[in-house]
Amino acid sequence: MFFEYHFHGCAGHKTIELNRQAYENISNFLWKEGETDRFLAAFSAAPADHLVECLEFCQDLIRSAPLPGAQLAGVYLEGPFVHIAGGMTESLLATPDIKSAKRLVDAGKGIIRNITIAPELDGALEIIEYFASEGIRVSAGHFNCSAQRLKDAVDCGLKQITHFCNNTEGPLLCENGVYHTDGPFLEILADDRLTVEMICDCVHVDPRLIKTVYRVKGKEHFIAITDGCAATGIPGTRLRFPDPAGNVAEFDVKNGALYIADSDILTGSLSTMKKIYHNLMEFCSFTEEEARYACSELPRKLAGESSHV
């Protein structure tokens, strides 16, 4: 069985739907279609009050009767302290502040497994250090910091990169035969302290790049994710879902992935972990053992779970 480490929904439901029936439907789909037995509920940037509500709901759900299929294993906060909106609602992005951070930690005691922060934001290094001191893994994501700022963040406790190669990590340029970058791309590859997540639907990232990054980072620093969304497993080419602000947002299904409507901006994959597992072997030259470790064993380990293989 597989582990959903970075996942926002499926079967027409988003993790922000704070009702048990939605999570039962999610649970059944993951179990039956994704061969997945555990998942983290990921929440994008939203007002602190709403994120606290999400955390409290997840606390209650974990303590209540088991779900019918895949079980909720914790929470992945993808924000709100990020810089580049991507598929998020830009007005909901927040500047790091310790008061909000403490509210999140208090509400999510024992269940926040990861939080994404943009290191270049004012106050980010202090907030990274705070979350790390609370035993929470901190990722850099939705960011465009310099290589030096990334180094500083790692020194403060940053351990991971959210959906690597789908942020603004900087272009790798070749000028007169010399390769260089102004961003943190090479630093991410070179720093052995950093683990990367990669969306392995083979739409978000070229399979050759997935293979290359895996060979550089090694099995202990590579997590395969879906970044799954509510559109996974439902028909249609133009879909509508509410964002955390309550506004209805439109999306297009094309090229096997989900895009912000009328744009080429990727915002979510439509793959299950079962599909990701097979992609790694078919398109990225992973062995069966390597694919299973990236899809199940390592994400469980980093989420504080025991192995279920």
pLDDT digits 0-9 by tens, 250-307: 889 888 898 888 888 888 899 999 999 999 999 999 999 999 999 999 999 999 985 4
DSSP 277-292: HHHHHHHS---HHHHH
Q: Using CB atoms within 10 A of its CB, is residue 20 exposed (0-12), middle (13-18) or buried (19+)?
A: middle
pLDDT one-digit tens code per residue, 131-181: 999 999 999 999 999 999 999 999 999 999 999 999 999 888 899 999 888
CB–CB of 94/100 below 8 Å? yes
Give CATH superfamily name and number for 2-302: Metal-dependent hydrolases (3.20.20.140)
pLDDT at 260: 86
pTM (predicted TM-score)? 0.94
Domain boundaries along the sequence of the chain: 2-302
